[in-house]
């Protein structure tokens, strides 16, 4: 069963990559009807993956950018230039 779960995780990540492939930053950062931007959602998913795989399972330090609270549940849903490429 673990091998199937790992395969599903990789498949889901590939689906996400295909969904955002080719978007400009402006398109990815746009918010519609006050919903979270695509860029923020990718940051949120990555934050969850980092907290589970890197921190909990591997015992390593979280990534300085994607571990920021702005990407956690309750974050603003916004993604701004510089916010995704440098530590807070």
User: pLDDT tens digit string along 37-74?
Assistant: 888 888 888 888 888 888 998 899 998 888 888 877 87
Cα 44 from Cα 49, distance rounded (Å): 9
pLDDT at 83: 53
Which pLDDT belongs to residue 86? 45
What is the mean predicted confidence (pLDDT) over 9-18? 87
Range of the domain at 37: 2-71
Is 78 part of any domain?
Answer: no
Q: How confident is residue 82, by pLDDT bands cut at 50, 70 and 90?
A: low
Separation between Cα atoms, residue 39 and residue 20, nearest integer Å: 9
Under a CB-based contact definition with an 8 Å cutoff, are residues 50 and 62 in contact? yes
* Inter-CA distances, 82 with 9, 45, 52, 85, Å: 28, 19, 25, 5
According to the model, what pLDDT value does residue 87 have?
45
56: in domain: yes
Q: Is position 88 within any domain?
A: no
Residue 84 lies in a domain: no
The number of distinct structural domains making up the chain is: 1
């Amino acid at each position: 069963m673990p091998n199937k779960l790992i395969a599903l995780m990789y498949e889901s990540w590939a689906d996400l990559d295909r969904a955002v492939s080719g978007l400009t930053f402006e398109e990815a950062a746009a918010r519609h009807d006050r919903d979270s931007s695509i860029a923020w959602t990718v940051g949120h998913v990555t934050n969850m993956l980092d907290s589970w795989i890197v921190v909990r399972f591997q015992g390593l330090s979280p990534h300085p950018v994607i571990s920021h609270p702005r990407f956690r549940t309750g974050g603003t849903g916004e993604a701004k230039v510089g916010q995704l490429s440098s530590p807070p």
